[in-house]
């Protein structure tokens, strides 16, 4: 990102020094619509861009007054072609232009076109700019009896580094009083809509200041900070907890105690811009929903649910006037299968990024995703850039802690409420840790009681001594299994080595011989495994968690991993599957060589290869776990 920024700044400096490059483009038509019906200002512009020079143009510059540019929620440009694919062009860079005559300081963004514009070509570009904190309350302070008035400023002419042939602007206001608006040539008003233009043949950087002063009674709810914690549990649940810290950023209210009483007496007449409630649109099937503030659970919230959504009406304990703040927490649970999916052996979480509350501006949003313990190879994909870091969280049953992905974004608007994904790998065995840990503690507890009260000395005839003997036998057997599996893995490696030789030297015969030897060896290993597995299956010590009493503390740590029987079976099964995959891979490659289909090897082997890698990892993980017994 940093590199790009510098790179583009350089390009701009050159572009500005040699102005002809700038004037290659003209805008043959600009339609601009400004929506001022809520605290979030949305400006949609449709530009018809024409290349009037010679040579290709691959960038279009967009200029914004510096004041607006500081308040961007979103700036997005799409071309007609891309709209079909719903792809957003990336705005890569910015540059501050020196102040021109009466024009305000500008910040310029560049849109790189995926297809350069040839001589005489035209294209259409849709630009959406969403701003926060742009409507200024005027007057800044009001009483409860007053309506809330705000000011909006912009230019009646489209500010652009290019000449504009034909342009128009319309401003949509709330259905309420319009105190005043700038009147210049071609200004019309229809109900709550003001129209400027059309204006023709304007020079680059043409500017005509425009101010609208109007009534708006929408609440200006701004979350100065919102922390969303999304905790994934593979036992079937996604728990979402959201900590809000909200301020009403409309005109400050001069409320006294009497005023508040008056409000309570006649709530519908007074304080028309006060925030009385928030509406949160939660996903369908959300359950265990709560809403809590500093004092405790708030029961005045209401809930509606149908198959498409769950709507939570949050009523603060008192109506919020301008300048007032409130802090609260909402929490809800979601069914795991609606948000967690599997793809190519990895899992991915697909969940919405931002707050479910309508029309909220969020100055700073922190999203923390807590994944199950044992998740690995985490990767995040978001539809827009965010700051990212990783932490870990330890709760009562964790051993090493859960990985936490922390995403941060400033100036968040409702348009940011899009889905994002987190991909990770996870070994199913890790899931067994918790129940093993719980049952482990229970066994430990019982064992301690038995140890302390019954069996203080371990004599050779005591039950615990016999148990220990049994356990030693089980352990020895498991070690034998491990060693055989390791030999199998070594055999796999030999096959792989022979495949490498095949691609180097091309000796198909040698490769086949190795395969034959390997087949023999693996068959033998499989025979050796049989009695060992039979023993483990019949041994009660292997099926149960067996404590040797001499180092309880040490065992306590490892206890949760002990269910040798299941693990050994899983290990053998996985290894067998791995063998089959290896053999299939080998056959495909040898076959391709014999039929001289060298080019197709990659394609044909790829699916087997992926499986081999995944299985190999699983076998190694299992060996590691079993090693700790």
Ligand X SMILES: *[C@@H]1O[C@H](CO)[C@@H](O)[C@H](O)[C@H]1NC(C)=O
Report the interface residues with ligand X, using CB under 6 A: 290, 296-297, 350, 419, 421
CB-wise, 303 or 438, nearer to ligand X? 303
Query: In 395-464, which ranges are E strands?
Result: 402-412, 419-425
CB-wise, 423 or 616, nearer to ligand X? 423
Minimum Å distance from CB 314 to ligand X? 14
CB-wise, 194 or 230, nearer to ligand X? 230
CB-wise, 58 or 297, nearer to ligand X? 297
Chain centre distance of CA 346 = 16
Minimum Å distance from CB 420 to ligand X? 9
Minimum Å distance from CB 364 to ligand X? 25
Q: Cβ of 199: how many Cβ atoms within 10 Å?
A: 21
Q: Cβ of 71: how many Cβ atoms within 10 Å?
A: 16
d(CA 509, CA 502): 9
Q: Encode 87-154 in three state secondary structure.
A: CCECEEEEEEECCCCCCCCEEEEEEEEEEEECCCCEEEEEEEEEECCCCEECCCEECCCCCCEEEEEE
CB-wise, 296 or 385, nearer to ligand X? 296
Minimum Å distance from CB 437 to ligand X? 24
Minimum Å distance from CB 284 to ligand X? 11
**∠ at Cα 506 (502, 512), nearest 5°?**
55
Minimum Å distance from CB 613 to ligand X? 23
d(CA 402, CA 405): 10
CB-wise, 332 or 582, nearer to ligand X? 332
Minimum Å distance from CB 85 to ligand X? 14
Chain centre distance of CA 109 = 26
Beta-strand pair 221-233/361-370: parallel
Minimum Å distance from CB 431 to ligand X? 23
CB-wise, 264 or 297, nearer to ligand X? 297
User: Residue 390, class by beta-carbon neighbours within 10 Å (0-12 exposed, 13-18 middle, 19+ buried)?
Assistant: exposed
Chain centre distance of CA 417 = 10
d(CA 369, CA 232): 8
Match 């371990």 to its residue by tokens: 458
Q: Cβ of 182: how many Cβ atoms within 10 Å?
A: 16
CB-wise, 291 or 321, nearer to ligand X? 291
């Amino acid at each position: 990102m940093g590199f790009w920024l510098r790179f583009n700044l350089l390009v701009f400096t050159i572009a500005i020094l040699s102005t002809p490059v700038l004037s290659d483009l003209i805008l043959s038509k600009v339609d601009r619509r400004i929506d001022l019906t809520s605290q979030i200002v949305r400006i949609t512009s449709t530009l018809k861009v024409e290349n009037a020079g010679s040579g290709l143009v691959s960038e279009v510059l967009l200029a914004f007054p510096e004041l607006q540019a500081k308040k961007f929620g979103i700036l997005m440009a799409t071309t007609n072609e891309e709209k079909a694919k719903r792809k957003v062009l990336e705005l890569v860079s910015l540059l501050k232009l020196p102040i021109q005559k009466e024009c305000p300081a500008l910040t310029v963004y560049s849109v790189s076109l995926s297809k350069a514009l040839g001589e005489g070509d035209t294209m259409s570009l849709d630009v959406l700019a969403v701003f926060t904190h742009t409507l200024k309350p005027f007057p800044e302070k009001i009483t409860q009896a007053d309506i809330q008035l705000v000011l909006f400023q912009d230019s009646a002419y489209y500010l652009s580094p290019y000449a504009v042939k034909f342009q128009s602007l319309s401003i949509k206001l709330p259905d309420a009083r319009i105190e005043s608006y700038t009147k210049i040539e071609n200004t019309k008003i229809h109900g709550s809509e003001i129209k400027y233009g059309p204006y023709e043949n304007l020079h680059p950087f043409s500017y005509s200041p425009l101010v609208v002063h109007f009534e708006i009674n929408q609440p200006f709810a701004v979350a100065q900070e919102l922390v969303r914690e999304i905790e994934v549990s593979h036992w079937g649940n996604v728990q979402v907890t959201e900590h809000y810290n909200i301020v009403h950023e409309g005109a400050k209210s001069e409320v006294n105690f009497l005023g508040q009483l008056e409000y309570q007496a006649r709530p519908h007449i007074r304080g028309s811009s006060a925030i009385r409630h928030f509406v949160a649109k939660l996903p369908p099937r959300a359950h265990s929903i709560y809403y809590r503030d500093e004092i405790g659970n708030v029961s005045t919230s209401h809930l509606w649910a149908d198959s498409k959504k769950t709507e939570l009406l949050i009523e603060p304990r008192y109506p919020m006037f301008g300048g007032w703040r409130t802090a609260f927490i909402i929490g809800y649970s979601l069914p795991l299968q609606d948000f967690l999916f599997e793809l190519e052996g990895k899992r991915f979480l697909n969940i919405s990024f931002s707050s479910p509350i309508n029309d909220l501006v969020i100055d700073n949003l922190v999203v923390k995703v807590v994944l199950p313990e044992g998740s690995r190879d985490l990767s995040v994909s978001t539809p827009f850039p965010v700051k990212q870091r990783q932490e870990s969280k330890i709760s009562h049953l964790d051993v090493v802690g859960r990985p936490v992905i922390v995403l941060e974004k400033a100036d968040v608007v409702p348009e940011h409420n899009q889905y994002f994904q987190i991909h990770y790998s996870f070994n199913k065995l890790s899931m067994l840790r918790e129940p093993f840990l719980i049952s482990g503690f229970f066994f430990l507890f019982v064992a301690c009681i038995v140890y302390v009260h019954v069996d203080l000395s371990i004599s050779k005839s005591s039950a615990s001594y016999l148990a220990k003997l049994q356990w030693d036998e089980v352990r020895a057997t498991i070690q034998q299994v491990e060693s055989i599996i390791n030999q199998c893995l070594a055999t796999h490696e030999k096959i792989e080595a022979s495949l490498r030789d095949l691609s180097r030297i091309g000796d198909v015969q040698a490769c086949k011989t190795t395969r034959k030897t390997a087949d023999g060896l693996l068959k033998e290993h499989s025979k050796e495994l049989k009695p060992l597995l039979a023993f483990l299956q019949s041994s009660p010590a292997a099926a149960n968690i067996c404590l040797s009493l001499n180092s309880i503390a040490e065992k306590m740590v490892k206890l949760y991993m002990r269910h040798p029987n299941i693990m050994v079976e899983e290990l053998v099964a996985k290894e067998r599957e791995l063998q089959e995959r290896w053999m299939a891979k080998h056959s495909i490659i040898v076959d391709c060589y014999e039929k001289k289909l060298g080019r197709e090897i990659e394609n044909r082997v790829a699916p087997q290869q992926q499986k081999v890698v995944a299985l190999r990892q699983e076998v190694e993980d299992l060996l590691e776990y079993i090693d700790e017994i």
